[in-house]
Amino acid sequence: MDDARRLEADGQYGAALVAYQSCETTGEDSRFCAARAKLLKPQAADGYTGWTVLAGVRHRYRELGPVAAATQVQAALDANPTGPAASQLRAWLANERRLTHSPDAEEARDAVIRDPGAAPSTRAALANEEKLFQRRARQRYTAIGLGAVAAGYLGVALRGRGTAVSATPLVIGWFFLAITPALLAWAWGASDWPGVLATGSAVVAGVAVAPRAPAWLAAAGTASVALLCAYFAGWFDSMGLG
C-alpha cells in the first residue's frame, strides 16, 4: 500500500492502480486499497487526463489561488464533459464556488445533484445543503413578516391611549416568564439562556402596552416580538418553523 500511495502522489496513476490492485485482497489495508483501485480504474479511460488536472489543482491550490484553480478545473471539464473524471470535477467546482460565494455556485451544485455519475453521498450532501438554504430563506422572510407586525403594533401602541398595566403584575410576570427560565437555563449550562431572557421579556413588554392597541393587534404583536427573539436565538429549526 505504501508503494501505491507513493506512486499516486507522484502522479503515476497507472502504476499506482496496479499496486492498489495487488494489495486489495490481502492485509489490513485491503479495504483502503480496494477503494482507491475502484476510484482510479475508470480514470484510465482518458489516460488519467482529468484526474491529473484535479489532483494537481488540489496539490497546488495555495500556489494557484481559487480563481486559477477553478479555471483549470473548468477547462478540464469543458474539454471532456462526459469523461471519467467529470463527476469529480463537477463536485470540486460546486464545493469551491460555494466556499467562495461565486454567483454560479447554485448552478454548479445543481449540476452535481443531477449528475448520475456523482457519488451518492456527494449528491445527498449537496441536496441537503440546498434544502437547508431554502429553509433559511423561508425563515428570513418569516422574520421580516414578524418584524412588520411587531413594528405596526409598536407604532399603534405608542400613539394609542389606554389604562396602563400596573407594575406589580408586570414584575411578577417578568420574574416567572423571563428571569426564572433564564436562570434555570444558565444553571443547566445552556449557552442560549440570553435568548430565554429576551423572549420572556418581550412577552412581558408586549403585554405592558397591550391596552393601547386593539386586542387582536396586541395578541399578534406580542407573539411576533416573542417569535422574533426566538429567530435571533436560532430556535426556528427546533420549533419546526421555516
| Nearest alpha-carbon partner for 223 in 134, 150, 119 | 150
pLDDT at 148: 92
Q: Which three cell numbers stand for residue 15?
A: 502504476
- Residue 134's CB: how many other CB atoms inside 10 A? 11
What gap in Å lies between CA 97 and CA 101, rounded to an integer?
6
Contact 89, 52 (CB under 8 A): no
**3-state DSSP call for residue 178?**
helix
pLDDT at 126: 66
pLDDT at 138: 87
What gap in Å lies between CA 87 and CA 93, rounded to an integer?
10
At a CB cut-off of 8 Å and minimum separation 6, what does 22 contact? 4
Residue with cell 490492485: 21
What gap in Å lies between CA 236 and CA 218, rounded to an integer?
22
Q: How far is CA 47 from CA 13, 21, 43, 50, 211, in A?
A: 9, 18, 7, 8, 78
**3-state DSSP call for residue 228?**
helix
**3-state DSSP call for residue 117?**
coil
At a CB cut-off of 8 Å and minimum separation 6, what does 45 contact? 83, 84
pLDDT at 166: 72
**pLDDT by residue, tens only, the chain of 242 residues:** 788 888 888 888 889 888 888 888 776 778 888 888 888 888 888 899 999 998 998 888 888 888 888 889 889 988 988 888 888 888 888 878 776 666 676 676 777 776 776 667 666 766 676 677 778 888 889 999 999 999 988 888 878 776 666 777 778 878 888 889 889 888 888 788 888 888 888 888 888 888 888 889 889 989 998 898 888 888 887 787 76
Residue with cell 443531477: 114
What gap in Å lies between CA 228 and CA 237, rounded to an integer?
13
pLDDT at 144: 92
Contact 43, 51 (CB under 8 A): yes
